[in-house]
Amino acid sequence: MLTRLQSIPHASRLANWGRLLSVTVSGQIAVQAIGFLCGIMVIRLLSIEQYALYTLANTMLGTMGSLADSGVTTGVISQGGKVWEDRGRLGAVLSTGMALRRKFAAICIIFSIPILVMLFQKHGATWWESSAMIVAIIPAFLIALSTKLLEVAPKLHQCITPIQKTQVGSGLIRFVLTTLFLLALPIGALAVLATGLSQLFCNWRYRKLSGRYVDHNTSEDPVVRSEILRIVKRSLPGTFYIAFLGQLNIWLISFFGTTDAVAQIGALGRLVLVIAVIQSVFSILIVPRFSRLPLESNLVAQRFIQVQALLWICGGSLVGAVSLFPNQLLWVLGSDYAGLNTELILMAVVCGITLVRFGIQSLNSARGYVLNPWVFMPLNLGIMTMAYSLFPPVDVYNALCASVIGTLFGPLIHSVNFLVHYRAERLQHSLDAVPA
């Protein structure tokens, strides 16, 4: 029987992908299950006012992380994919990326903290609550700063099992710390601090793991720096735009809506964390392999089409599952969030489309196909302006309806970007191959 299976074309490749998927998916299910339980516990233990502050803090952490990156991770993956088998050169790529992120992080802290304090005060936080949140946010941000870069080398070398163990361990530490902190004192700042402290373990493990493939003592490479900065300069306007657009509903509701609405939209997002499993599997398995595909073959275009079709199936399945069980899912959140059935389904639609957009954008980034921000931003801004004109973001329902309209165009825009850059790269490769 085994001999017959082995004789089937591509059987060994299918078996290898099956093994990788089973390990990765099972690991990510464990990670996200722990994160889901932790998130539900935070919702249940915090008052709706404290959870609103926690939602604002988490949103700002995500925005700060995006701005501090500004395309650096994209540049590191793109450059690292070219030298992934050379320990010294990969170390130079990583060192260069780390240096750039530290500089961007300092700028982010200076500009982000005053805005966050203003929002805390608007939603009824006392000065000591605002101060406690800031004290928790800054170390959490700094600790998480290196995580994405430290995991580049293990991902390029497909160290799936160690990555999964690290993420599960970090999740368990977060769960334990969150439980202890919030049972002792149920305030949002302690939940943020627990998340940051759990990342210490993650960074320690990633640094140890990447040491097998990277020389951490390698100094910065000016050539790599210029290549990464080229991607950063092209990505920077779009990064600023997307960093705020990605959480636009929360930002707009925090300015124009109520504290309850901020908590509600944050809590609904917790129930569709299944896309985080798919995104994590995608980032670990698909993106590094796509980065390594040779340009000489047609595999790049073929894999792009195949992966996009799979993403649409996953997004549609998510919406279908949520539509079948909205009451049961809302029961998990507690009585403060009952009756948000329509809003939950709309959230699932937004997350399904966002999953597809995330996948296409990640594939583009892996090849260094950065979308021209001066094309993307005016186009998307016009779409979002129209959407929020139709549905003013004064409550959760309106904000989510506007998001559905706004996100629909993302996959199309990024697919066109892939086609343009892929054809240009193929043409340039053909010209370079012609003898002088």
Q: What is the pLDDT along the chain (436 residues), one digit of tens a residue?
A: 445 545 555 666 666 666 666 666 677 778 778 888 888 888 888 888 898 889 888 888 888 888 888 778 878 877 777 777 777 788 888 888 888 888 888 888 888 888 888 888 888 888 998 999 999 998 888 888 788 788 888 877 777 778 888 888 888 999 999 999 999 999 989 999 998 899 888 888 888 888 787 877 777 778 888 888 888 877 777 677 767 766 777 778 888 777 788 888 888 877 666 677 778 778 877 888 888 888 766 888 888 999 999 999 999 998 999 999 988 888 888 888 888 899 999 999 998 998 999 899 889 888 888 777 777 778 878 888 888 889 988 888 998 998 898 888 889 888 998 998 888 888 877 776 666 5
Q: How far apart are CA 145 and CA 428, in angstroms?
A: 36
Tokens of 339: 């009756």
Nearest-CA neighbor of 236 among 400, 61, 66, 45? 66
Query: Within a 10 A sphere around the Cβ of 139, how many other Cβ atoms?
Result: 15
Nearest-CA neighbor of 66 among 363, 401, 361? 361
Q: How far apart are CA 264 and CA 258, in angstroms?
A: 10
The single-letter DSSP state of residue 284 is I
Return the pLDDT at 312: 93
First-to-final CA distance of the chain: 54
Contact of 112 with 63, CB cutoff 8 Å? yes
Per-residue burial over 400-431, b = 16 or more CB atoms within 10 Å of its CB, e = otherwise = bbbbbbbbebbbebbbebbeebbeeeeeeeee
Contact of 67 with 239, CB cutoff 8 Å? yes
Tokens of 172: 């368990």
Return the pLDDT at 370: 78
SS3 for 212?
coil
Contact of 388 with 402, CB cutoff 8 Å? yes
- Amino acid at site 409: F
Give the H or E element holding residue 221: none
Contacts of residues 244-251 at CB distance under 8 Å and 24 or more positions apart, as own/partner, are 244/63, 245/380, 245/384, 246/62, 246/63, 246/66, 247/59, 247/62, 247/63, 248/384, 248/403, 248/406, 249/393, 249/399, 249/400, 249/402, 249/403, 250/55, 250/56, 250/59, 251/59
Tokens of 280: 């994590």
- Amino acid at site 11: A
Q: How far apart are CA 30 and CA 166, in angstroms?
A: 12
Sign, CA dihedral 322-328-329-335, equals positive
Contacts of residues 116-121 at CB distance under 8 Å and 24 or more positions apart, as own/partner, are 116/56, 116/57, 116/60, 119/56, 119/254, 120/53, 120/56
Helix locations, 123-187, DSSP H: 127-144, 147-150, 152-156, 160-184
Helix locations, 46-159, DSSP H: 48-69, 72-80, 87-122, 127-144, 147-150, 152-156
Contact of 40 with 333, CB cutoff 8 Å? yes
Return the pLDDT at 191: 92
Return the pLDDT at 5: 44
Q: How far apart are CA 192 and CA 416, in angstroms?
A: 39
Query: Within a 10 A sphere around the Cβ of 120, how many other Cβ atoms?
Result: 25
